[in-house]
Each structure stands twice: as C-alpha cells, then as structure tokens.
Chains A and B, each alone.
Chain A
Amino acid sequence: MYKYYESGLKSQALSLKEKFFNINFGYVFCIILLAVIGAVALYSAANGSWSPWAYRQSARFGVALGLMFVMALIDVKIYLKYSYVAYFLVLLLLIAVEVGGHVGMGAQRWIDLKLFKLQPSELMKIAMVMALAKYFHSCTLNKIESIRGIIAPALMALFPAALIIIQPDLGTALMLLFTTMVIFFVVGVQWWKFALLGGAGMVLAPIAWHFLHDYQKNRVLTFLNPERDPLGSGYHIIQSKIALGSGGIFGKGFLNGTQSHLNFLPEKHTDFIFTMLSEEFGMIGGTLVILINMIIIAYGYVFAFRTSSYFGKLVIIGLNTNYFMYVFINIAMVLGLLPVVGIPLPLISYGGTVMLSVMASFGIILCMDINRHLNLGRSSFGDD
C-alpha cells in the first residue's frame, strides 16, 4: 500500500475536483468510441438515416454518459453502505414487475422512463454484484471456504435468478448466475466445489431441459445444428454467418451490406448489429470492435488490481465480468458459437435498458478506481 503514496495520492476522502481529475479518461474515451461506432452502425441499419435509431440512441448515450459521471463521483462509501438496501429494493422491484406483469400490465417486465425502459432484471445484475461484494468484503477466508459461508450469497443469487427465469428470460438469468460463479471463484471458493456443481449440473441438465419452453429448446437445438430448420429458428444464425462471411477482410463498405440492407439479416439494429458491422467493415471492423472491448475489459482488470479495498476490487471484477459476458455472448452468438439467446451488444445495439445498466456499471467501476487508495476497512462480524 505504501507505493500509492508515491504517486502523490492521498488515502483520505477526495474533493469533487480531485475525483474528477482522477477519472481515467482513456477508459472513458474507449466507451465513447464504442458509442460512436454504435451510432454509425444504427445509421447504416436504418439504410443511411438518423431516424429511427441512431438519433435516439445518441440522445440516450448523452444521458447515460451524464449518469456515468454522476455514479463515478458519488462518495464510494455510499456504495458500500447501501449495497444490501439497493439489493433488496431491486429485488422488490423484480417481484413487483413479476406479479404486476401477470396481473395488470400485460406481460410487461419493465418500467417506462420515456427514453429508457427500466428493467429490474438488468438492475439486479449490478445490485447483486454490489451485495455479494459487500458480503465477501466482510468475510474471512475461512468463512468463504466453509459451506456455511456460501449459503447466504448463493441464495442471494439464486432467488433473483429464479424470478428472472420464470419471466422468462433465460439469457439474463444465466448471465446473473455466471457472474455469481466468477465472484465465488475469485474470492476463493475451493475448486472441488465447482467440480461438484459441474457434476450436479450434468445430472440435472436433462431434467432442466424438460422445463425449458419450446422456443428455448429450439434455440439450443438450432444452435447445435442451424440447418435443422433453415427457414425457421435456424434462419437467423445461417443468415448471420452468410452476412459475416461475405464481408471478407475489408467488408462491403458503409451502407453496402447486402444481407443487412435487403433484410436477409434479422434484428440488424439490435442483437445482430455486430454482424452488420462486420459485413460492411469486414474483419478489420469486427476485430476493431472486439479490440476496443478488450481494452475496456483490460482497464477493468487493471482497476481491480490497483484498487486497495477488497470491496472495490470485487465490485470491479463483478461488473467487469458482467460487461465481458454481454460482449462475449452477443458476439459468440452471431458468430454461431453460442445459441441465439437475445443478448445485445452493449453501447452498439439499439436499446436503452442495457445502455443504462452498462453505463451505470462503468460509473461505479470508475468510482472504485477514483477512490482506489481509500481504505474502506473491513466491517467484521467477529468471525475471527
């Protein structure tokens, strides 16, 4: 911890001005760059028009960018202090839309905020990371390694995941669970427990299969063999691969993607936007998008390593994992490496929900990084 003093930073609370200049602008630049690429892609998706998507998405980004800065400049202690409160509030919201969705609002699972649609399941991804971080922040390694110590956090993840599955939103639920697993892994839950879980999963998978909706089964089967139903559920992935492959190294040129503009490619402004980019800008364009994302994720790990507090590290790792999952699942999906699960490419796909949650995450990550020298202490509950 000594070395941080050398860089001239203090371990005490920072002023707002100090905080602002501690924002990592390289990170922010990468985020803005992706959003610009997103706007360009949406302009193309609308056959060279700012409406209906590019304009609205840019406006959203402007608002979300503001939110990110606000989240970054909030007092880091507030995050630690209100993590559980936030978790329970989001959980209530999740239950509310689950119940309300069934009772009165059609099948609606979001709350309309005009420019954005607030989806509690999306908020839960952040709230759960914060809550788990707080939990493990206060745990000893002994407790983490005990069975008793992981029951509470496991339930914290399983309960909302179950609520999300019955929405049904398998993709989001799986992301939530996977992020939880990564957090469990990094905090030091033993390997053998994961092996045990894996074994149990293999036994339970056929049973779980039974409970999947038909369309979900179809997605998995189609992923395993897209030619199974080339005009039905396999159509998306086949057309996506054709669009990508035909782009070649340099692409067909801006606004010249035949697969995209002749509507062979479905959902080109949302889930399959990476395909359209790669059709028009080729492997160069596709690789660039992946590289920028790699840089953003790498920043995250650097931030995690250099943050002094355990809470801060875990929050960054959790949120960074969330972001990685979006990027990886979406791109792997359009490349035909994963089943089509309806996960958008953050900052590029059209849609406010993910934009909001991802930008909020970036804000929190930045906040942890700004306050990386602050020792948040360990509010122990007398375990050791």
Chain B
Amino acid sequence: MNRDNDKGKTLLRRTALVAVGAFFLLLMLIARLYYLQVYQGDKYRMLADENRISTRVLIPPRGSVYDRNGVALATNEQNFQALVIAEQTPDLDTTLEHFKKIIPLTGEEEEKIKKEVRNNKKFVPVKLKDNLTWNEASAVLLNAPYLPGVFINEGLNRSYPLGIYTAHFLGYVGAVAENDVKDDPLMMVPGFKIGKSGLEKTFEKELRGQGGNVKLEVNAYGRIMKEIERDKGSAGKDLYLTIDSRLQKFAQDAFGDNSGAAIVLDVHSGEILAFVSVPSFDPNLFTTGISHKDWNALLNNERHPLTNKAISGQYSPGSTFKIVVALAALESGVIDENTTFFCSGSMSLGNHVFHCWRHWGHGKQNVVEALKNSCDIFFYEVALQLGIEKIADMARLLGMGKPTGIALDNERGGLIPDQAWKLKKYGEKWQQGESVIAGIGQGYVLATPLQLAVMVSRVVNGGYSIVPTFIKPNLKEKGKIKKLPVSRKNIEIVKQGMFEVVNGEHGTAIAARFNMDGIKMGGKTGTTQVRRISMEERRSGVVKDEDLPWRLRNHALFVGYAPQDNPHYAVAVVVEHGSSGSGVAAPIASKILQEAIRLDIK
C-alpha cells in the first residue's frame, strides 16, 4: 500500500512537471506572436504589400515634332495588336485557324504563340500579331464570334511622315538597349522606345514625358483584383523646329542621285531651315525593328546613307575658304580693295611650284576679281603675306575649327591648322608652303557643310556670330548675338566678290545666276581634289575628272546667300565627288535659294 501511495505521488509530481512544461510552451507561442507581429511587424507589412501590390508603369505619349509651319515631322501613330487570353478561348488551335484566315501567320509565329500560351498563366494575354493596320484590326473585331478570347489592343508607334527627308536631323526611336542608362522606370517597360539618334535623342527628356503608374492589387496567381491608385503621369512636350519642311524636301530632292549635304540657315538668327544629308534612309524602318537585310544594305552602301554628312562629313573647303582668307587679309591690312597681284598661272616658292587652276593665268587681279575668278595665285600671295595665324583666327571667328554645338550627336569640328597645332600633331615647324595651300582651303583645312553655312552667314549678316539651331531662339536671346570685330566695309568688299562670282561676267558660277524681281544671289564655288595629282600625271596631262571612278572624283562645293542687298538665307552645298563646284554644286544651291525666296520663310 505504501508503494501504491508512492505511485500516486509520483503521478502527481510528474504531471505537475508536464503541466508546467506545457504552459511554458504555450507562453512561448505568445512570445513568438509578439515577435512576428509587433517586433517584426513593419517588415512583414512591407512584404505583404509587396505581395499584393503590383505597380504597372503607364507609358506617356511621346511628344510630337513639328516644323516651323506646324507640319508634323514625328508623330505617334495608332498601332493595333491582336492578343488572345487562353482561358477565354475554348480551343486555341481552332481559334488560331480562324485567325489565320484573316491575318496570315507564319509557322514560326504560330509556334511562338503556342509556346507563350503554354508558358504563361491562362489569364495572361498573349500577343498574336503586332502592327496591324486599321483594316486588319477591324476585320479581327468583325469576326469576334469565331475568335473567342481574341481582342485588339491599341498602342502607339512612332511615325515619321516625311521619312527620308527628316532622318538625319530627327533621328529615330528604338528599343532600350542593354547599355542605355536606365534612370527611369519607363526604361524597364518591355517594348518602350527611346530616341536613339538625332533630335529624338537630344530632346529625349522633353519628348518622353513623365511616366505614370497604376497600383493594382493582385492575388497570388497574378490576377488583378482591383486598382488601388493611379498616377497618370504627363505626356511628352511637343517640339517645334526651325526646319521648313517644304524647303527641306525641295533641297533634298534637288540633289537627285548625288550624295552630299546641304544646309540652309537664316543668316540673322542661325535658324536651320533645311538640313540635308543624302542619301538618306527611312527612319520608319527603325521604329518597328529593321530587318537584317535592310540594315546590311544601309551599312554596306558606298554612299554611306547612315552618315550625317552635314555635320560628320569633313571636307576640304577649297575655294569657298577664299572668303575667309580675303576677309582676314582685308582686316589685317595686308591688302585693300585696290591691291592687285599678277597671276601667270603658277608661282614658285623655294623649289616648289604652285599652280592656279587656270594654267594660263588670270593676269592682274584685285580681291573682288580674285574671288570672282577664284584665282589661286592671288590667294597664294595673300596667304604668304598673311601667315597661317591670321587666317586661322579669322576662320575661327567665323565658326570654323570646332563643333558649332548643334543639338546632334557626332558633330565634328573640322580643322583649322596653325603653327601650334602642327607642332603638337607632327612635332614639326609650320612651313610657308602650307600657308599657301591653306590660302585656297586645301591641305590640312577641313570643314563640315554646317560650318561652311555658318561661315557664310556670319560674313553676309554683317559680322554677327550667329549659332545654328533647330529651336527658334526667343527674342531676348536674339538680341544677345555678338558682333564680331570685323569691319562693315571689308565685309561689303567680300560680298561684292561673292556677288561677282554669280553675277559678274565670266564669274565661276555665272550659270547659276538668277534674278527674281531684282533679287539676286551671291556665293563662292569650290572644287576639291580627293586624290593626289602626281608630278608625272601633271606632265603627261591631268586625267579628266569625269573619266575617273566616282569615289576618286573631286568634291563639288558651293556656299551662297540671297538676297544680295539684304541677305536672309545662307546655303552651303557639298556634292561628294560631284566633280565641279560651279557645274554641280552651284546650280543646286541656286535652286534652293530660289525656292527659299519663293517660299518667303518668316
């Protein structure tokens, strides 16, 4: 009985221990609840929100681009997409068969659709076909009874109505690339397009606008339950350019099959009225993804349609540079309007002989005559007396030798050589002969067509340092245009020379002259060698340019302005391998100026 008592006591004692243990464990659960719900509550609240809230970015409509008259150059075109929701279509194969009758699908596309349907949840829309026309989209909608689960989504596609005419300055948009800086949530949206080149790229921030977002509550399977909040964002700003699309088209067409570049500026404001680089390409090919074939064709074209020749092409300015040399000489007092030099057709310096383009010479020439006849000897003599530094200073004053700072990528600065430059580049002293060559815009001197247009503008506007721009400067800024330290009188002398080039008897560009109710143009031709003419060839007779293959022919240049009395427009034309400045470039420039005058661009 004693042991029985012990048995009962043991039970009570051990049960008490178990009870204590049980309560300890249950209290531990409460402690754990406290730890999770209070101590770590904030963390888990955040995680719960991350679970349930799905933020979708809303793409703002991209700003349109218009020319100075409000003509659309870049717009957003409605783009129709056909999608299917698998769970709403009883039999995908049958639906696809019906769909194919309306809009053909390649076997590859069909495979891709089926794969995407398999890989996605049943309520996720899968793209059937992109870039449908309005007609195709309505055909799909009309056949809705046979296409359960198929619907049409409207998106926006960038469109360039003028296509090849605007490609080189507008650029184009394309999908965000791997190495683009992704500083905007919009950049993460699949299919989002950003400006890849041209003004589309430069003004990306303004054109893009502010992405909105919508916060959606989703369940564990990703199905949208309700919208929590919506921030609409803001549309991109529209851009108004200084380009006149009529002149732009005309100027580009004026090139015909030639390749090259042309710039038309308003000489008083620097507004770019036309910006041509030919051949061009269709930027619309890029917005929807260019095909491999098209891309290779553009890339391998020997005329480089993808190169923006107006700002990236650097050409010897040739005789067009004589404007700069003439002005530099007049300003420095080396010559005045009456100073003459005798052109015999050649000039010796040391043991080197420099030739004039006219082998038999021009005879006695003053500066106006030398410009009109493009006499090389006159400018050799002037350059020799002037020295390279004075020439370079004037060239820089007129906007050459460094990029103009236009709002486009890949602008090159051309080259205005001087003594310091040569020493740095080649470690050699500047030679007098090099000044002579520079005097006719050959040798080291290089300029872009845009720089040539700026140079002419700054001369003919009376010496104001206008800067080329695509965006209309406001009136206040207009007043800020600096006057260059160039005298009016000397400018008029140079202008007189340029007038004679086109309108004087035997002027080099006489064939390009026009008279529109008294409005006339002035200008300067230039023809620059692409190849070196050897002494041997010179002895045996220079091969005629037209007998050479295209890529070895001379570049043809012309810079001009109109009207003569009160200049408004400046033009620079470069025709690559065009053979002759007077024969090819001047007529194009002339036509462009006539059109500008006819259009009377305000």
Q: Which positions in A face B, CB cutoff 8 Å?
A: 139-142, 144, 182, 185-188, 239, 241-249, 258-259, 262-264, 278, 282-283, 286-287, 290, 293-294, 297-298, 301, 304-305, 310, 313-314, 317, 321, 324, 327-328, 331-332, 335-337, 378, 384
Closest beta carbon of chain B to A332's beta carbon, Å: 6
Closest B residue, CB atoms, query A291: B30
B32/A245 in contact, CB under 8 A: no
B29/A186 in contact, CB under 8 A: no
A249/B29 in contact, CB under 8 A: no
A to B CB contacts below 8 Å, 23 in the list: A140-B3, A141-B6, A185-B18, A186-B14, A186-B18, A187-B10, A188-B11, A242-B48, A245-B43, A245-B44, A246-B48, A247-B37, A263-B219, A264-B52, A282-B37, A294-B23, A294-B26, A301-B19, A305-B12, A317-B15, A321-B18, A324-B26, A335-B36
Q: Is B420 part of the binding interface, using a Cβ–Cβ cutoff of 8 Å? A: no
B11/A310 in contact, CB under 8 A: yes
Contact residues, B6-49 vs A (CB, 8 A): 6-8, 10-12, 14-15, 17-19, 22-23, 25-26, 28-30, 32-34, 36-38, 40-41, 43-45, 47-49
Q: Which positions in B face A, CB cutoff 8 Å?
A: 3-4, 6-8, 10-12, 14-15, 17-19, 22-23, 25-26, 28-30, 32-34, 36-38, 40-41, 43-45, 47-49, 51-52, 217-221, 225
Residues of B contacting A378 in the complex (Cβ-Cβ under 8 angstroms) = 4
Bound state CA distance, A310 and B14, in angstroms? Answer: 14
B10/A305 in contact, CB under 8 A: no
Closest A residue, CB atoms, query B50: A242
Bound state CA distance, A64 and B49, in angstroms? Answer: 40
B217/A262 in contact, CB under 8 A: yes
Bound state CA distance, A239 and B23, in angstroms? Answer: 27
User: 5 tightest A-B contacts by CB?
Assistant: A245-B44, A246-B48, A188-B10, A262-B219, A263-B220
- Of B11, B43, B219, B225, the residue contacting A314 (CB under 8 A) is B11
Residues of B contacting A141 in the complex (Cβ-Cβ under 8 angstroms) = 3-4, 6-7, 10
Bound state CA distance, A252 and B190, in angstroms? Answer: 35
Residues of A contacting B41 in the complex (Cβ-Cβ under 8 angstroms) = 245-249
Residues of A contacting B26 in the complex (Cβ-Cβ under 8 angstroms) = 290, 293-294, 297, 324, 327-328
- Listed residue (B14, B29, B40) with the most chain A CB atoms within 10 angstroms of its CB: B29
List 4 additional A-B contacts (Cβ < 8 Å) besides A262-B217, A287-B33, A317-B15. Answer: A187-B11, A262-B218, A262-B220, A283-B33
Bound state CA distance, A363 and B458, in angstroms? Answer: 108
B37/A249 in contact, CB under 8 A: yes
Bound state CA distance, A336 and B29, in angstroms? Answer: 10
- Of A262, A278, A287, the residue contacting B51 (CB under 8 A) is A262
B22/A310 in contact, CB under 8 A: no
| A-B Cβ contacts below 8 A, count | 146
Bound state CA distance, A35 and B308, in angstroms? Answer: 81
Closest B residue, CB atoms, query A238: B47
Residues of A contacting B7 in the complex (Cβ-Cβ under 8 angstroms) = 139-141, 144, 187-188, 310
Residues of A contacting B30 in the complex (Cβ-Cβ under 8 angstroms) = 287, 290
- Of A243, A249, A297, A337, the residue contacting B22 (CB under 8 A) is A297
Residues of A contacting B40 in the complex (Cβ-Cβ under 8 angstroms) = 245
Bound state CA distance, A378 and B15, in angstroms? Answer: 20
A182/B18 in contact, CB under 8 A: yes
Bound state CA distance, A142 and B37, in angstroms? Answer: 50
Bound state CA distance, A57 and B25, in angstroms? Answer: 29
B36/A186 in contact, CB under 8 A: no
Bound state CA distance, A188 and B13, in angstroms? Answer: 9
Closest A residue, CB atoms, query B52: A258
B36/A241 in contact, CB under 8 A: yes
Closest beta carbon of chain A to B558's beta carbon, Å: 70
Bound state CA distance, A152 and B49, in angstroms? Answer: 56
Bound state CA distance, A336 and B40, in angstroms? Answer: 14
Residues of B contacting A328 in the complex (Cβ-Cβ under 8 angstroms) = 22, 25-26, 29
Bound state CA distance, A133 and B15, in angstroms? Answer: 14
Closest A residue, CB atoms, query B218: A262
Closest beta carbon of chain A to B420's beta carbon, Å: 66
Given A141-B6, A328-B25, A335-B29, A248–B37 Cβ distance below 8 Å?
Answer: yes
Bound state CA distance, A283 and B36, in angstroms? Answer: 9
Closest beta carbon of chain B to A238's beta carbon, Å: 9
Residues of A contacting B218 in the complex (Cβ-Cβ under 8 angstroms) = 262
Bound state CA distance, A95 and B68, in angstroms? Answer: 93
B32/A335 in contact, CB under 8 A: yes
Residues of B contacting A188 in the complex (Cβ-Cβ under 8 angstroms) = 7, 10-11, 14
Given A297-B22, A384-B3, A283–B51 Cβ distance below 8 Å?
Answer: no
Residues of B contacting A263 in the complex (Cβ-Cβ under 8 angstroms) = 219-221
B29/A262 in contact, CB under 8 A: no
A305/B15 in contact, CB under 8 A: yes
Bound state CA distance, A336 and B34, in angstroms? Answer: 13
A259/B23 in contact, CB under 8 A: no
- Of B12, B23, B28, B44, the residue contacting A241 (CB under 8 A) is B44
B44/A244 in contact, CB under 8 A: yes
Residues of B contacting A262 in the complex (Cβ-Cβ under 8 angstroms) = 51-52, 217-220, 225
A242/B11 in contact, CB under 8 A: no
Residues of B contacting A182 in the complex (Cβ-Cβ under 8 angstroms) = 18
